Structure 1
Amino acid sequence: MASFCLTAAYRTIDRVLHLIAWIGAFTMIGLMLIVVYDVLTRYFGFGKVPGVNSTMMQESQYWAHTVIFSLVIGFGYVRQVHVRIDLVTSSLARRTRLLLELTGCLLFLMPFSLVGAFYCFGYARQSYVNGEISASTIGLSNLWILKSMLVVMFILLFLAGLSQVLKCVEGLRGTLPATQVDKLVGGGH
């Protein structure tokens, strides 16, 4: 019964991270449109939408990059697209790799994510309270929205760590299929 609960929990977390990553992926379309619009209006003389200037377009690009990165990082972690030193860990036993992953998530990733979310929340809150705007007089306002994406990023990273911890526990109990263990801790490439 406990195994079913762990499996259901990490699968739910992974589905949520996948859904949020899709939202981030669709932000790529927005980023491409912003870049195309900016290039067409700046270099090819196309007319601009009233009230929208090049500075806003350039700032919108780094806003979109921030949103994309923040929304896909959790899914990227559970899909193992981060850097992993397989050269060192590939010679270790599967159980040792599971313990190493579990320890890394519990001692480093999850606490770091909580600390990051805590401090970034204060950072975004202060931006909201101060009504922070772009350093450029013709740039974007409401920078607190951009800074809030850092909080979202750390929360998603924490959830990814939690998913990995649950999978490691399943792996250590022997209830996670070997192919999934390889995906979890590397070595299945």
Structure 2
Amino acid sequence: MLLKIEKWIDRFIDIIGGIATVAMLLMMLNVFYDAIMRYAFNVSSIGMQEMEWHLFSVVFLLGIAYALKSDGHVRVDILYDRWSPQTQAVINIAGTLLLMIPLSLLIIHGSIWFVHEAYISGEISGDPGGLTHRWLIKAVIPLSFIFLVISAIGFMIRNFNIYRGIEAPKAHSVEDDVF
């Protein structure tokens, strides 16, 4: 049962990672277009410049859940690598339960009013020609941390299965450190 839940969560988070990938491609196209227009034709758009940081926010915030799922997050490996897979699994579960999930829930709770206020007030960019509907980008904050909690549940299930010996730990190689 736990393996099925873990696989479902992994597939869901892969979709979120795919959305972040598409946002990255859109951001690159946006930056390319903006740079060409600015330096070749001396034309600048506030809306396009704001879209750059909006897309960057989407990439970063949605990428957090995918980084956890793919074990691409930052960790101090000086001691961790020397411990057994079972000890690593216990540390991963404890860190997720005691730090990651409570912090994520705090951010979700604290950012919902932020989105609500932007929506109710009809917040738009303060710059002329800027983007409207600022609540849309602000809504990515609680949404991304909801996805992080889902990914954390999958991460804990994976580590529980590693602890029980049902699942083998992911092998870490030098190629993993390239990206």
TM-score, normalising length from structure 2?
Answer: 0.90
Q: In the TM superposition, what is the alpha-carbon distance from 1:70 to its structure 2 partner?
A: 1.9
Deviation (angstroms), 1:43: 1.3
Among 120, 131, 136, the alignment partner of 1:140 is 131
Per-residue CA distance 1:22-56 (angstroms, 9 max, x = gap): 1110112211221122122211117x7xxxx6111
Task: Give the aligned partner of residue 33 of structure 2.
Answer: 37
Quote the Cα distance in structure 2 between the aligned partners of 1:161 and 1:137: 41
The answer to whether the aligner puts 1:93 opposite 2:84 as a matched pair is yes
Q: 1: distance between equivalents of 2:30 and 2:71? A: 30
Q: 5 Å matches for 1:45-60?
A: 45=41, 54-60=45-51
CA distance in 1, matches of 2:155, 2:28: 33
Query: Within 5 Å, which residues of 2 pair with 1:104-143?
Result: 104-143=95-134
Give the Cα–Cα distance (whole angstroms) in 1 for the partners of residues 155 and 25 of structure 2: 30
Letter in 1 for 2:136: I
Matched to 2:106, the amino acid is V
Quote the offset at 1:94 in angstroms.
Answer: 2.1
- Distance of 1:173 and 1:41 partners within structure 2: 57
Alignment deviations for residues 105-160 of structure 1 (CA, whole Å, 9 cap, x no partner): 11111111111111111111111111111121321111100100111210111111
Q: Which amino acid aligns with 1:115?
A: L
State the match for 1:158 in structure 2: 149
Q: Which residue of 1 aligns with 2:22?
A: 26
Output the CA distance in 2 between the equivalents of 1:86 and 1:137: 48
Deviation, 1:168, is 1.6
Which residue of 1 is the match for residue 172 of structure 2? 188
Runs of 4 or more consecutive aligned structure 1 residues displaced over 3 Å after TM superposition? none
Matched residue, 1:12: 8
Amino acid at match of 1:15: R
Change in CA separation of 1:188 and 1:42 when aligned onto 2, cut-off 3 Å? closer
2:119–2:135 Cα contact (<8 Å) kept: yes
Look at both structures and tell me which one has the larger radius of gyration over its CA atoms.
Answer: 1
Q: Percent identity?
A: 28
Q: What SS does structure 2 have at the residue aligned with 1:135?
A: coil
Name the CA distance, whole Å, in 2 between partners of 1:155 and 1:82: 17
Q: Distance in 2 between matches of 1:72 and 1:91?
A: 28
Deviations 1:74-120 (A, max 9, x none): 11111111111111212222221111100001111111111111111
